[in-house]
């Protein structure tokens, strides 16, 4: 018999966070989160996303053991700004038992109906900057710290339970060896001269901070055309500043300004922390910090986390400047592999940025929906 419990206490939330450690124990492709940070994700005093979201957490039990989990979410900013009556679900994990999946999803649907929502969609996080989707291809590929891992039976459960595909994403990579820098090196200076573009490079994280608000303004502007986009508010900006900016090599953060000092482009790239996260196994102490700091300094792989270009400049060759600047840094740092996180299939403007790098698509994922 399967029983469902809504959880509230820090102890229960810690159990919620730790369940995948048991489920994916020994899986070489799963990337464990840092437990304390993941627990804080569900703390209203720590995560401002919870101030504009209704969130309920559930654990499923069978024979007194945890066999599944899910977060049911209503992002009220999304509901109110897009007039889309949607309940989200995320942090979905389960054993291979479709009855567990069915029971967990029933709690999601229950929350949605309670507040008059019309559809359920997931897996998806609180905001556009959270993790998204279940894998449909690439189950034997190493995950990233900004994506969820899922075995094949997740999508099979959803489809057998009558869910349909909502959004599709893919992830890809390319190597330093595959890059011919000559075309963008030739174009870079010409574009700089034509539009008066200058590049902000950094060596210290504290020097990045004064520009981060401009970056989020541009992020909101450059992604506004996507149907699923919800702007990042001021509190979320502060949250992401504290959580991520100091964690990234300042050399991997670049801003691009026009002749009037208006930001027209940005890129944030992270060292690949995935193998370090596996070694840390959810704990910063006693050795987790060491593995992460080592990866920050020595990783030969990088992950493209965020990139944005002002709509006004999207067809004016700004990408040549971006690639030229990063090529210099990555050559110096001896980077060998570039990983792109999940991108919407419909985001053709983003795909066009990378078409000349001959990327290899190695993972696909999607969200599913259910009419309520």
Q: How would DSSP label each residue in 17-45? A: HHHHHHHTTT-TT--PPPHHHHHHHT-TT
Assess if residue 120 is contained within a domain: yes
* Residues 116, 43 share a domain: yes
* Residues 304, 290 share a domain: yes
* Residues 190, 160 share a domain: no
* Residues 120, 16 share a domain: yes
What is each CA distance from 134 to 70, 146, 216, in whole angstroms?
Answer: 13, 13, 27
* Residues 164, 303 share a domain: no
* Residues 200, 102 share a domain: no
> Which residue, 121, 152, 171, sits at the end of a domain?
171
Per-residue confidence band for 236, with pLDDT thresholds at 50, 70 and 90: confident
> For residue 94, what pLDDT is reported?
98
Task: Tell whether pTM > 0.75.
Answer: yes
* Residues 180, 163 share a domain: no
> Which residue, 123, 154, 171, sits at the end of a domain?
171
For 194-213, b/e burial (b = at least 16 CB within 10 A) is ebebeeeebeeeeebeeebe
* Residues 160, 35 share a domain: yes
Per-residue confidence band for 199, with pLDDT thresholds at 50, 70 and 90: very high
pLDDT above 80: residue 229: no
What domain range includes position 329? 174-361
Assess if residue 370 is contained within a domain: no
Assess if residue 371 is contained within a domain: no
Name 311's Cβ contacts closer than 8 Å, sequence gap at least 6.
221, 222, 225
* Residues 107, 16 share a domain: yes
In the chain, how many domains are there? 2
* Residues 190, 149 share a domain: no
> For residue 224, what pLDDT is reported?
72
Distance (Å, whole) CA 315 – CA 317: 6
Assess if residue 103 is contained within a domain: yes
Assess if residue 206 is contained within a domain: yes
Burial of residue 332 (CB within 10 Å: 0-12, 13-18, 19+) is: exposed
> For residue 241, what pLDDT is reported?
81
CATH number at residue 233: 3.40.630.30
Min mean pLDDT across 12-16, 146-150, 244-248, 256-260 is at 244-248
> Which residue, 143, 171, 199, sits at the end of a domain?
171
Assess if residue 247 is contained within a domain: yes
* Residues 118, 8 share a domain: yes
Angle between helices 182-195 and 318-333 (to 10 degrees): 130
Task: Name all contacts of 314-317 with Cβ < 8 Å and 24+ positions apart.
Answer: 314/222, 314/349, 316/191, 316/194, 316/195, 317/187, 317/190, 317/191
Q: For the chain, what is the total number of helices (H) and then of strands (E)?
A: 13, 13
* Residues 7, 153 share a domain: yes
pLDDT above 70: residue 221: yes
Assess if residue 372 is contained within a domain: no
């Amino acid at each position: 018999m399967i029983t469902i419990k809504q959880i509230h206490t820090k102890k229960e939330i810690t159990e919620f966070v730790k369940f995948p450690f048991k489920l994916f124990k020994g899986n070489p492709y799963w990337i464990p989160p840092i437990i304390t940070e993941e627990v804080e994700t569900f703390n209203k005093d720590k995560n401002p996303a919870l101030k504009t979201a209704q969130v309920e957490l559930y654990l499923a039990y069978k024979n007194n053991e945890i066999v599944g989990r899910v977060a049911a979410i209503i992002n009220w900013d999304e509901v109110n700004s897009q007039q889309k009556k949607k309940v989200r679900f995320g942090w979905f994990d389960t054993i291979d038992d479709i009855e567990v999946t069915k029971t967990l999803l029933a709690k999601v649907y229950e929350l949605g109906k309670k507040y008059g929502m019309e559809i359920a969609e997931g897996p998806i996080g609180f905001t556009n900057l959270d993790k998204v989707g279940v894998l449909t291809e690439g189950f034997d590929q190493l995950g990233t710290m900004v994506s969820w891992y899922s075995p094949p039976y997740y999508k099979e459960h959803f489809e057998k339970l009558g869910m349909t595909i909502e959004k599709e994403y893919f992830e890809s990579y390319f190597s330093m060896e595959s890059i011919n820098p000559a075309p963008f090196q030739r174009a870079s200076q010409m574009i700089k001269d034509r539009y008066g573009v200058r590049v902000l490079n950094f060596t210290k994280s504290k020097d990045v901070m004064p520009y981060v608000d401009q970056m989020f303004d541009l992020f909101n502007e450059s992604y506004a055309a996507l149907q699923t986009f919800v702007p990042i508010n001021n509190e979320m900006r502060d949250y992401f500043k504290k959580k991520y900016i100091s964690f990234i090599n300042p050399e991997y953060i670049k801003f691009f300004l026009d002749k009037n000092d208006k930001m027209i482009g940005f890129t944030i790239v992270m060292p690949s922390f995935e193998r370090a996260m596996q070694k840390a196994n959810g704990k910063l102490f006693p050795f987790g910090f060491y593995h992460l700091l080592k990866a920050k300094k020595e990783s030969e792989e990088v992950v493209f986390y965020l990139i944005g270009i002002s709509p006004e400049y999207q067809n004016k060759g700004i990408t040549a400047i971006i690639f030229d600047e990063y090529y210099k840094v990555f050559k110096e740092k001896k980077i060998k592999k570039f990983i792109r996180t999940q991108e919407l299939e419909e985001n053709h403007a983003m795909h066009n940025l990378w078409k000349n790098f001959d990327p290899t698509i190695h993972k696909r994922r999607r969200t599913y929906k259910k009419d309520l």
